[in-house]
Amino acid sequence: MKKIVVFNHKMSLLYDELYNYIERTNNIDTDNDIIICPSNIYLEAFINNSQWSIGCQNFNQNTDFKHTGEISTDQLKSLGIEYSLIGHYERIRDFKESAITINDKLIAALDSNIFPILCFGEDIDENYREELPKQLDKYLKDVQNIEFIIFAYEPIYAIGTGTLPNKEKIKEIITFIKEYLEEKFKTKPRILYGGSVDSGNIEDILNIDIVDGILLGDLSSNIKEVERIINKI
C-alpha cells in the first residue's frame, strides 16, 4: 500500500548543496507520497524544481501582517505550498509553543487549504494512554475538517536520539490513537511514525500495516540515505 513519507529538513542544506539534492531526489522513482519540508528560504526553489509535494516547517497563524520575520498562510498558499508541519516538539521545547497556538495554527492552515501534519507524542516517563488523548484534545479543540490532517506520532525521546520504541510498541500506540480519534472525532486518521527512522529500521516500521508512513528528520537532507530509504519502501 502507498505510504506517506515526510522529510523535515530542519535547518539543514546549504545553498551550494540545494540543486544537487533536488536533482538527485527528482531521479528517485517511487509511487509513494513524498512531502519535503525544507527551510523557508528554499521553498520557492523546491516548488519550482522538485517533483515531490512541498510543505513548510512553520508559519505565523495571525493574519494582521505585522510580525517581523514571519510568514503567513496567504504567502504560503500563493507560492503553492500544500502542507505544513504543526506542533513539532522542537518548537514546543525551543519556542514554548503552547497547545493554544497549535490549535490556532491548525485552524489557520485548514482555513487556507494547507494540509496540517500534526506532530504529537509522549516522553519516556509519561503514560501514553493518558498523555496522548490530553494533547490531541487540546490541539483539536473546535477544529473542523479533521479528516484533512495527517497525524505524526513522534515520541519525544526518539526525536534525533537513535533510540526508538520497538515495533510492537509502535503498533500498540498507533492502534490506540487510531481508535481514540475514530471514536472521539469520528474520523479515520492517517498516522505516521517519526523519531530516529533510518534505512536500517524503515522496513520494520512500514511493515506494521496500520502505520501510514514516516516522518524523517535529520537524515532527510542526506541524499544517500534518502535514496536508500525510498528504495526500501
Are 178 and 82 in contact by the 8 Å Cβ rule? The answer is: no
Q: Does 196 bind ligand PGA (CB under 6 A)?
A: yes
Count of residues of this chain found to bind ligand PGA when the rule CB under 6 A is applied: 12
Q: Does 8 bind ligand PGA (CB under 6 A)?
A: yes
Are 132 and 172 in contact by the 8 Å Cβ rule? The answer is: no
Q: Does 160 bind ligand PGA (CB under 6 A)?
A: yes
> How many angstroms separate the first and last alpha carbons of the chain?
10
Are 11 and 219 in contact by the 8 Å Cβ rule? The answer is: no
The residue whose Cβ lies closest to ligand PGA is: 217
Q: Is 210 helix (H, G, I), strand (E, B) or coil?
A: coil
**Residue 203 Cβ, how far from ligand PGA at the closest point, in Å?**
16
**Alpha-helix residue ranges (DSSP H) falling in the chain:** 15-26, 43-49, 73-79, 89-95, 99-111, 128-139, 167-185, 202-206, 223-232
Q: Does 154 bind ligand PGA (CB under 6 A)?
A: yes
**Residue 131 Cβ, how far from ligand PGA at the closest point, in Å?**
18
Q: Does 55 bind ligand PGA (CB under 6 A)?
A: no
**Residue 89 Cβ, how far from ligand PGA at the closest point, in Å?**
8
Q: What is the DSSP string of 114-157?
A: -EEEEEE---TTS-HHHHHHHHHHHHTTT---GGGPEEEE--GG
**Angle subtended at Cα 74 by Cα 72 and Cα 79, rounded to the nearest 5 degrees:** 100
Please name every residue paired with 191 in a beta bridge, in sequence order, or none if there are none: 151
**Residue 197 Cβ, how far from ligand PGA at the closest point, in Å?**
5
Q: Exactly one of 88, 90, 97, 122 is catalytic; which is it?
A: 88
In one-letter notation, the amino acid at residue 91 is: R
139-149 burial string, b = 16+ CB within 10 Å, else e? bbeebeebeeb
Q: Does 165 bind ligand PGA (CB under 6 A)?
A: no
88 is an active site residue:
yes
Q: Does 202 bind ligand PGA (CB under 6 A)?
A: no
Choose, by CB under 6 A, the member of 37, 195, 221, 229 that binds ligand PGA: 195
Q: Does 216 bind ligand PGA (CB under 6 A)?
A: yes
Q: Does 103 bind ligand PGA (CB under 6 A)?
A: no
Identify which range of 58-66, 106-114, 125-133, 190-198 contacts ligand PGA by CB under 6 A: 190-198
What does the binding site for ligand PGA look like in residue numbers (CB under 6 A)? Answer: 8, 154, 159-160, 194-197, 215-218
Active site residues: 88, 154
